[in-house]
A and B are shown apart, each in its own frame.
Chain A
Amino acid sequence: MFDIGQILVNSVVTSSLYLLAGTGLTLTYGLSRFPNFAYAEFITLGAFCGLFFLAKPDGVFFLALIVAFLVAGFVSASSYTLVFRPLVERKTSLIHLMVASIALGYVLRHSMGESWGWSAQAYQIMWPVYNIGNVRITGLWIILIATAVLTAVALHFFLTRTRAGKAIRAIASNPDLASVTGINRQKVVLLTWFFGAGLAGVAGVFRAADTRLFPMLGWDILLPIFAVTILGGIGSFYGLIIAALLLGLAENFGVVLLSGLGLSTEYRMAIAFLILIGVLIIRPKGLAR
């Protein structure tokens, strides 16, 4: 009694968003070893950058993506340099770093709230819709899925074939040994913070285009994004891909199940988290570790 094709497409759309948004979180965790809660705000910031281009129906979507990438990346790299690096250098504990990231998140979120207002806004682009059999798919979803797939492929080659990519993996697996081999650790970390948050900014533009735009946008999806990174094995990019797909499917099929049972679809996240708990009991370090 339900439309499997459409739900699969929906799941892939959800997964693509989680993948884009989760990449930066998992890579920066791999290098810096603390969960950055301010990460939610890079997503929101990207979405608001998009508003400059997409407040009118004739906006250029591609331009919005690029600017969101650059601005979110820049703010992330600056926040690392100004806030987190000094703390890391003083050998601050994990708790302190986490609290600092929550605090930074608040500052960023409320600054955005003051600048752009707390009420919801929207991009004005109308997307073309395509029918493939019973399944409908919009232009936006096609771009989103394509972006996520291209990013995944590009990252795979980046991490395995380039010097900088290998450096990231080296630092993630053994920071001290990596330093000995002459890798410029600071540079690699900064680059990762920039690039990861840039992708988060891009995810923000997609999320805002698909739904609405408001200062809580990033925070509202931070929990599932954390779930995806943890499920994948935090720090692991390949685990992230699998986890994003799993959670996307769980959420979307969960809705069908819930409304079949007459429950509110608010519980969809609960289903996703049940899966998370189940996987962690069997594989405590996530799927990929």
Chain B
Amino acid sequence: MGKKVLALITVLTFFATALVGCGQQTPADKQEQEEVVKIGSALSMSGLLGPMGVKMTDAVKLAVEEINAAGGINGKQVELFIEDDATDPAQCLNAVKKLVEVNGVQLLITGMSSGAASAIGPYLSERGVLAISPSATSPALTGQPWRDYFFRTAPSDEYQGKVMAQLALDRGLKRIVVFTMDNVYGVSLGQVAEAALKEGGAEILAFIKYDPAKMDYRTELTQIKSLNPDGVIHVGYNDDGVVVYQQALDLGLDTIQWIGCDGVYGTGLFKTEASATFMANAVIGTRPGAPEGEDAYENFVAAFRAKYNEDPEVFCDTVYDAVKLIALAANHAGSEDPAKVRDALLEVGQNYQGASGTITFDEGGDRLGGIYEIWEVVKEDGEFKFKRVDMITLN
């Protein structure tokens, strides 16, 4: 018995080392031999962010298709590798490692959530592979030591938090509860909003952090109810958002004003009648906006519709821009070497007219300024819809 187990462990260890071994030797040589440019996508196609990530991955595919139709990168066709990180930062790191070490990818679209971005950042920097995140928005990511190989095409929530706070202040809300999911994105966006609210003279009654995977928030909501606030600043995602809103409706919390964010924008929130009803009754929110009316955006939307027969949703435009920027930078550099593409990215990423508007990166790889949409939910002809209330441009 003991010997058998020992033998088994030896064999397994051997295989494991062998596998890791091959992974590490090959990627650089491989990429040069083959006449393709490999781009990897590791977004969340299941889990809490699944509903958003699937559509974003569609936008990645669209961008790659267009790049290939236009002659590829440096005369070579792009081959796309897709992984799913299941909305789990650890899983994201595994997926990125797999893409880099098994598939030999060196240009990536990944780090969909801020937590995932923090998990993969050091690895990217250490391995010298380049990634652009289309949707990690936490202010906490700014200035991290690993940012040399990590860019983002979504503006930092430094901007969105202020817009959320302003929204509350404009409506005369004075007593506010901040209710956020306990992850990098939720807490940092909540903190920005909290600071801006305090500055604007509002009182913060409580800052409640919840577990997004718990899927039962009745007691947290009961506490909000007993605090009797004028408004709630809520940061969540689609999947937990549905539960929060349907349970909030149960408790009658639709009589106070809720202010949501990009994470709770999306048709995923209409999965239950109760959640949709609550949103129509009580929720307004913000999200990075699209420069509608501008050619680049309208062309993107038309192409997306033509290919998938549905409208793009939040961060589809920023992910599309991320892929296009990688191609543009690699062409500009005349190379697919991640270090050269990175340098080129800082050059071409100045006043770049993308689908998501004008993109200008600062030295740290953050996007400057942002366009935000203020949205509400309405019921028209028995169907729930997100509707624009206003657009705000920040510089």
Contact = CB atoms under 8 A, between A and B. Distances in A.
B219 A256 contact: yes
B219 A255 contact: yes
Interface stretch (A78-86, A115-123, A160-168): A115-123
Interface size bucket, A side?
Answer: 35 or more
A242 B227 CA distance: 31
Contacts, number: 99
A129 interface: yes
Interface residues of chain A: helix, strand, loop or mixed (majority):
mixed
A28 interface: no
Contacts of B90: none
Interface string B188-229: 000000000000000000111111011110111011011100
A93 interface: no
B272 to A, nearest CB: 5
Interface in B229-250: 239, 242-243, 247, 249-250
Interface in A256-282: 256, 259, 262-266, 268
B252 interface: yes
A252 to B, nearest CB: 5
Contacts of A138: 250
B273 A127 contact: no
Residue of B182, B213, B219, B223 with most chain A CB atoms under a 10 A cut-off:
B219
Contacts of B227: 1
Interface in A114-136: 118-124, 126-127, 129, 131, 136
Given A124-B272, A264-B211, A265-B211, A7 B242 contact: no
B207 A262 contact: yes
Contacts of B274: 126-127
A129 B50 contact: no
B252 A129 contact: yes
Contact of A251 (B47, B219, B272): B219
A89 to B, nearest CB: 21
Nearest to B275: A122
B245 to A, nearest CB: 11
Contacts of A131: 252
B16 to A, nearest CB: 21
Given A3-B226, A255-B223, A259-B220, A220 B215 contact: yes
Contact of B251 (A57, A136, A211, A220): A136
A126 B271 CA distance: 12
B273 A252 contact: no
Contact of A220 (B213, B219, B249): B213
Q: Considering residues B211, B218, B227, B271, which has the most beta carbons from chain A within 10 angstroms of its beta carbon?
A: B218
Given A2-B226, A13-B218, A119 B208 contact: no
A259 B227 CA distance: 12
Contact of B239 (A2, A129, A212, A220): A212
B219 A7 contact: yes
A6 B251 contact: yes
A202 B209 CA distance: 31
Contacts of A211: 215-216, 243
A201 B252 CA distance: 29
A44 interface: no
B87 to A, nearest CB: 10
Contacts of A262: 207
A253 B225 CA distance: 15
B51 interface: yes
Given A136-B250, A256-B223, A264 B182 contact: yes
Contacts of B252: 129, 131, 136
A236 interface: no
Contacts of A122: 242, 271-272
A122 B271 CA distance: 6
A10 interface: yes
A10 B215 CA distance: 14
B190 to A, nearest CB: 12
Contacts of A264: 182, 209-211
B207 A212 contact: no
Given A211-B215, A212-B242, A266-B210, A126 B222 contact: no
A203 to B, nearest CB: 13
A51 B28 CA distance: 49
A43 to B, nearest CB: 13
Contacts of A124: 272-273
B77 interface: no
Contact of B46 (A118, A123, A256, A266): A118
Interface string A51-65: 000000100000000
A210 B51 CA distance: 21
A254 to B, nearest CB: 8
Given A1-B226, A119-B46, A262-B207, A10 B242 contact: no
Nearest to B217: A265
A121 B243 CA distance: 11
B273 A259 contact: no
B182 A266 contact: yes
A121 to B, nearest CB: 7
18 contacts: A2-B222, A3-B226, A6-B225, A14-B216, A118-B50, A119-B51, A119-B239, A123-B272, A127-B274, A212-B215, A220-B214, A252-B219, A255-B223, A259-B208, A264-B182, A266-B211, A266-B214, A268-B219
Given A3-B226, A118-B86, 5 more contacts: A6-B225, A118-B47, A120-B239, A122-B272, A136-B251
Interface of B: 46-47, 50-51, 86, 182, 206-211, 213-216, 218-220, 222-223, 225-227, 239, 242-243, 247, 249-252, 271-274, 277
